[in-house]
Amino acid sequence: MYRKVNVPFELYEIQILTASDEELARISEEMGLALNVDEMKRIKEYFRSKGRNPYDIELQSLAQAWSEHCCYKSSKYYLRQYLLEAAEADYVISAIKEDAGVVEFDDEYAYVTAFESHNHPSAIEPYGGAATGIGGILRDVLCMGAQPIALIDPLFFGNLDTPYEGLPKGTKHPLYLLKGVVAGIRDYGNRVGIPTVAGMVFFDDSYLTNCLVNVGCVGIVKKDKITHSRAGGPGDLFVLAGGKTGRDGIHGVTFASAELDEKSEEEARGAVQLGNPIMKEPLIHACLEVVEKGLLTGMKDLGGGGLSCVIGEMALAAGYGAEVYLDKVPLKEEGMAPWEIWISESQERMMLTVRPEHIDEVLYIFQKWDVPATVVGKVIPEKITRIYYKGYKIYEMDTEFVTAGPEYCRPYISKKPEKELHEEIEPPADYVKVFMKMLSHPNVAFRDWIVRQYDHEVRGSTVLKPLQGRMNYETHGDAAVIKPTKSFKGLAITADVNPWMCKIDPYWGAASSFDEMVRNLVAVNAIPHSFNDCLNFGNPEKPERMGEFVECVKAIGWMAKGTAIPCVSGNVSFYNETPYGAVAPTPSLLGIGVVEDVRKAITSDFKGNGIVILVGETEKEFGGSLYSVVMGQRCHRVPRTSPERLKAYTDAMLESFKKFEVMACHDISMGGLAVAVAEMSFGRGVGFEAARELSFIELFSESNTRWVVELKAEDAESYVEFFKNRGLKAEVIGYSEGEMLNFKTFAIGLGEADKAWRRGMSEYLV
Amino acid sequence: MERDEIRVAVLRMEGTNCEDETVKAFRSVGVEAESVHVKQFYSDMIRFEEQRSIFDYHCLVFPGGFSAGDYIRAGAIFSARVKSALRKDIEEFIKMGYPILGICNGFQVLVELGALPGFDEDRPVSDKPEMALAINDSSRFECRPTLLKKESKKCVFTRKVNKNTVMFPVAHAEGKVTFPSGKEDEYVERLLSNDQIVFRYVDDKGNYAGYPWNPNGSYFNIAGICNATHTVFGLMPHPERAFFGYQVGKREGYGDGYCIFRSVIDYLEKL
């Protein structure tokens, strides 16, 4: 089936024209292509029409381009149906089409966002996997010509108290993974000098064999400097800039497009790339300098699939083809076969297209920054990609055939939680005990062990930090606020998803996650402006998993369209599944809000001597709630929401911030009102006295679209009136004062509660 | 010197990453400031119009970051590059009374370079480092606000600091001021007698305190020191991150960091 070609380097002809279906499957398996027989047959047909067999490099190239990771073959159909329409708004400059979304910030600037997963590599090698995740997302933003200004990292692990003896074979302990991932993000993000300002960490058994590492990045670019991922025209030179190419990260995308198992460790180590932030840091400067000087026609980062994906896509996006001289690519090691060079995912590389008259200037700038840059090819008029290696032509395919990956409309089965589960929510026998359990739950407890290891202030533009309140004893903020330009306009950034809710009811869980994202932005006085989604699911070939995906996408599309908040970029990660099970459906959302004046951003800590008001409507909605988990009570009713209601409350809240001097605001999410109030108290050591007895439903239900607001006493009445006049609900529930958390139903000393909350997660980590 | 004549260079190489905000802080007090790659001082490949001499400037700044990745001791590679190519120039620069500032990684660079503690006025860059910034006691990177008590009257970077205590954030993994074992008190004595201890970590009541107020376990709670001539100053906390009011939760005006930049410009204006 394989014939060595008589050339002075390693090259094989793969005899697929004569291969049977079984042999095609074997070829795919043996070459690590992860293509199925139908896909292999399509390739066979193509080469039959060309009258020849493919070379190894051509098959490998197709395997990259047609992987789930690169071409979204399982998700595209449903994304188009439910989500693409939600990408529209008149201020969106570029959505979905490129590596990052581009949205208008003001007359002069646009902001750029990207969000993706780095799950499989992080499960195998947490430090390197997470670090290169940060590296990759920075490049996605950089390739639009933008200066990265913030990093975001939602993380998902198995429970920290998992006994070591109970670990499935080949699985690493969640503590090891958490520490490794945080160290990877820390050492890369801090070194490269971009602040990590937001994120989340969530523990659930479903992530035990498959942790999730999502990484987001926000950048800022002058509108007239936005650079696109396409070449200018024939004759443009392809310049490969940055790190050298090695054998690290070969088959990264095909590895990411299959389930992990106990053998993945030994088989896939080589698929994990190695990061080098000290190559990235000057690479960013050099790229931005050539952008600023207007020396490029296009730029794209090398991510999944390496050179094989970037060159064809850049040429074809402009309506052309490419000629590549593969032996010009600077290598880390000798003896690499051409196909390895072509698909390697070595890090810290960018592809630029440059008019020949600008090439000397571009190469000088890179040399000045000590960043290697090499001409490796040129744009040609016909839509063909050709590769030469040491004078031999080793690759010639129609670019459109390579990039037109398959698309599947996979069958799915939707969950019907109300039929499968039953309600059994009861009030607690011992309120204090239950409340303490909730506060110390690792999904709620203080995150400073993680947050302080990330430099969240480098660049000097972080106005609202992730931790807020008195020095060294802060509380969690709802969203970080960055001031990206000279003006006082800012960007609010948050990352949210509620996997417990999504597990019970993917539709309402995803809708609730969207609601939470919007609430967090509103809480800091930001206008919700756009969002990205990173959709993490199990094996899409299983109809139940596909059902979870479709329900989540439907819900997000519905909420986005109804609230007119556009989805500008995103990523789908399937196959987060092992023989031990799949991850909870995890549609992570990265929300961006615009803050009209950063000096008016609102913090979450009680300032004291104020009136505390609950805005929103509370129902008995405990599905996926912290209360139900802590109590071990089952409940199918995941909190409902609607875009109309969310929009009405959002508008009213933002209007109220203009009319009233709001001292503090916090959204109500996991743990309900009681936990929200407690977090506000912890920030400055200011207690809470309820105005009346609050029921367990009022205290612990996680109904959507609710906030807690602190105001001066004299404003309280007119504030409540303001909402009532709009047909919305707001109520005085207590006072920010004293040294107790007194809900009338029960009370506990603030110090005791504070201690439980601060230690809940970190006690596992020291 | 007139204020608009003053030129400040913020030195950069691969891995330095606080140069933009540091340049911005200097420009905001009305002087000319730019980021300069160290290669611009000595490399042949740099074009004429981008070549620079240290004596084009009146103040040098080593900014925060992770120069060359800090994979060996923090600041070691940056200082080695500077020392091999520019030692004579730097010594002359210091002797002429021109100020040098090192923030965070820049402090580490000045220590590795031997410019701090800089006891010998005649040899302002010592052959070997005399102290170190060791790994934090917590063994972790620490990004948190700190309170600093001003201790020096003479340091040219703090003469206009008229508050007892200032707030600057820290963000580092290696910031623990460490002196040669057994000679700690001797060093502290010497620094004290020369008025070289500039900032010490304190708690919210103004007392010298342990973690987290002293975020790294520094000996004698030292956060920043200057050399014997009081013109070379290094500190772990970041004044450029507390320069504008909006960086520290104030609606208007400046943060405490402003006075650091204002002080050195004031000194240069009188030079």
Reported ipTM: 0.96
- Residue A69 is a catalytic residue: yes
Q: What is the pLDDT of residue A83?
A: 86
Task: Check CB contact of B126 with chain A, cutoff 8 Å.
Answer: no
Partners of B247 on chain A (C-beta within 8 Å) are 457, 460-463
Using the Cα atoms of residue A24, residue A29, residue A31 and residue A37 in order, give the sign of their dihedral.
Answer: positive
Average pLDDT over residues A737-742: 97
Average pLDDT over residues B171-176: 97
Contact state of A278 with B37 under an 8 Å Cβ cutoff:
no
Q: What is the pLDDT of residue A533?
A: 97
Instruction: Summarize pLDDT for A136-169 with one digit per residue, the tens.
Output: 999 999 999 999 999 999 999 999 999 999 899 8
Whether residue B117 has a cis bond before it, omega within 30° of 0:
yes
Q: Which residues of B are catalytic?
A: 104, 238, 240
Closest partner residue to B69 (CB to CB) among A191, A454, A599 is: A191
Q: What is the pLDDT of residue A420?
A: 64
Average pLDDT over residues B191-198: 98
Q: What is the pLDDT of residue A277?
A: 87
* Longest CA span, chain B: 54
Q: Which domains does chain B have, with CATH numbers?
A: 3-270 (3.40.50.880)
Distance CA A695, CA A693 (A): 7
Instruction: Summarize pLDDT for A677-731 with one digit per residue, the tens.
Output: 999 999 999 999 999 999 999 999 999 999 999 999 999 999 999 999 999 999 9
- On whether the CB atoms of residues A33 and A63 are closer than 8 A, the answer is yes
Contact state of B21 with A461 under an 8 Å Cβ cutoff:
yes
By CA distance, what is B144's nearest residue in A? A452
- On whether the CB atoms of residues A333 and A340 are closer than 8 A, the answer is no
Task: Tell me the residues of A at the B interface, defined by beta carbons under 8 Å apart.
Answer: 186, 190-193, 277-279, 281-282, 364, 367-370, 451-463, 470-472, 483, 488, 598-599, 603
Instruction: Summarize pLDDT for A252-299 with one digit per residue, the tens.
Output: 666 666 777 777 666 665 666 677 888 889 999 999 999 999 999 999
Q: Which of A38-47, A213-222, B6-15, B63-72 has the lowest mean pLDDT?
A: B63-72
Contact state of B212 with A472 under an 8 Å Cβ cutoff:
yes
Distance CA A612, CA A754 (A): 19
pLDDT above 90 (res B19) = yes
Contact state of A460 with B21 under an 8 Å Cβ cutoff:
yes
Task: Check CB contact of B19 with chain A, cutoff 8 Å.
Answer: no
Q: What is the pLDDT of residue A261?
A: 73
Percent of chain A topping pLDDT 90: 86
A649 φ/ψ angles, rounded to the nearest 5 degrees: -70, -40
- DSSP summary character for residue B65: B
Partners of A193 on chain B (C-beta within 8 Å) are 17-18, 65-66
pLDDT interval class at A72 (50, 70, 90): confident
B68 φ/ψ angles, rounded to the nearest 5 degrees: 55, 20
Partners of B64 on chain A (C-beta within 8 Å) are 458
Partners of B165 on chain A (C-beta within 8 Å) are none
Contact state of A471 with B204 under an 8 Å Cβ cutoff:
yes
Contact state of B15 with A488 under an 8 Å Cβ cutoff:
no
Closest partner residue to A456 (CB to CB) among B14, B66, B143 is: B143
Partners of B206 on chain A (C-beta within 8 Å) are none
CA distance A111 to chain B (A): 19
Residue with tokens 């051409």: A338
Task: Check CB contact of B46 with chain A, cutoff 8 Å.
Answer: yes
Do the bridges between strand A527-536 and strand A567-573 make them parallel or antiparallel, or are there none, so unpaired?
Answer: parallel
Q: Which helix (H) or strand (E) holds A450?
A: helix A448-451
HEC assignment per residue over A730-764: EEEEEEECCCEEECCCCEEEHHHHHHHHHHCCHHH
CA distance A454 to chain B (A): 7
CA distance B44 to chain A (A): 10
Closest partner residue to B144 (CB to CB) among A368, A370, A452 is: A452
Contact state of B240 with A598 under an 8 Å Cβ cutoff:
no
Average pLDDT over residues A576-589: 96
CA distance B209 to chain A (A): 13
Closest partner residue to B15 (CB to CB) among A281, A456, A488 is: A281
What is the average pLDDT value for chain A, to the nearest integer? 94
Contact state of B24 with A460 under an 8 Å Cβ cutoff:
yes
By CA distance, what is A458's nearest residue in B? B18
pLDDT above 90 (res A421) = no
Nearest CA to A381 out of A319, A338, A435, A428 is that of A319
Partners of B167 on chain A (C-beta within 8 Å) are 471
